[in-house]
Amino acid sequence: MSTLMKEITYRCQNVDCGHTFVATLEISRTVSLSAMPNPEVSLPISPRAYLAPQGTGTA
């Protein structure tokens, strides 16, 4: 895995099923800039991030 990709384990909520599986979760872009950015991580910024001022909740 990498800094931007992690494994996550899922389990079916139906106890009669019992299916458990692993999926990957990958961060693909920034929507709201971090107040504490990691200098080792470079993410593209979503065009949506430029549509509304941060903290307004509208875009």
Burial bucket for residue 43 (CB in 10 Å: 0-12, 13-18, 19+)? middle
Tokens in use for 45?
A: 């910024």
pLDDT at 57: 58
State residue 53's pLDDT score: 62
Q: Which residues contact 38 (CB under 8 A, 6 or more apart)?
A: 3
* pLDDT tens readout for residues 3-59: 899 999 999 999 999 999 999 999 999 988 889 999 998 888 888 776 656 565 555
What are the DSSP E strand ranges found in 1-59? 5-11, 20-26
Q: What is the pLDDT of residue 48?
A: 75
pTM for the model: 0.55
Spell out the domain ranges in the chain: 1-27
28-36: which pairs have CB atoms within 8 A and are 24 or more residues apart?
none
